[in-house]
Amino acid sequence: MGILLHKVEDFSTLAEPGFDIEQCFLDCTRISIRCEDIRRYKKAFRVRIRGLIKTNNRVALSACIDNFYRFATFIEYLYGHHSCATGVSSWQEETARFMQKKYRDIPMHFSRGEQIVYAPRSAYEKHFREQYALLSAEKENSAFECMQDNKPFLTLKDYAHFERWS
């Protein structure tokens, strides 16, 4: 009886359309916005940041931190106060894809003191439902569950790295 082993993903070299962690490249309009992929990108950013801290490459580290912060801002735009540690309902993912197409990148820089400000859960739910009504013939969506785990996308450990190294 053999044991099935899953291939361990190498986050230090993760490259997909719209995302290349070695180049610290991020194009928010082209990346996958499924929660499982967002978690992979988040892990890749963390691996890259830890690697840059070890090599003391402050220029690349600052750029990577700013891109990670920009990424977090984009995820907040798509999913609100949801960490993406769990998935979302299909209507929310469909709405996120719709919103991704309309997204205009506004670079956020932690090093300049710019901050992500989360709105109350109810504000996100209202906004997502309005966006879904724009793309769907099914205008009545109040019965659909809106996944909001009320956990921020960035953790205290992320902010500790930002504050220390940017």
- Confidence label for 8 from pLDDT (cuts 50, 70 and 90): low
* pLDDT at residue 89, rounded to an integer: 87
Query: What is the C-alpha to C-alpha distance for residues 98 and 79, in angstroms, rounded to an integer?
Result: 12
Q: At what angle do helices 156-165 and 35-55 cross, to 10 degrees?
A: 40
- Mean pLDDT is lowest, of 45-49, 64-68, 69-73, 159-163, for 159-163
If one counts every other C-beta atom within 10 angstroms of the C-beta of residue 11, the result is 16
- Confidence label for 45 from pLDDT (cuts 50, 70 and 90): very high
- Confidence label for 22 from pLDDT (cuts 50, 70 and 90): very high
* pLDDT at residue 102, rounded to an integer: 87
| 55-99 tens-digit pLDDT | 999 899 989 998 999 999 899 889 888 889 988 888 889 999 999
Task: Specify the DSSP element, H or E, that contains 59.
Answer: helix 58-79
| 25-44 tens-digit pLDDT | 999 999 999 999 999 999 99
Query: What is the C-alpha to C-alpha distance for residues 26 and 15, in angstroms, rounded to an integer?
Result: 10
Report, as an integer, the average pLDDT of 124-153.
76
Residue 142 pLDDT greater than 70, yes or no: no
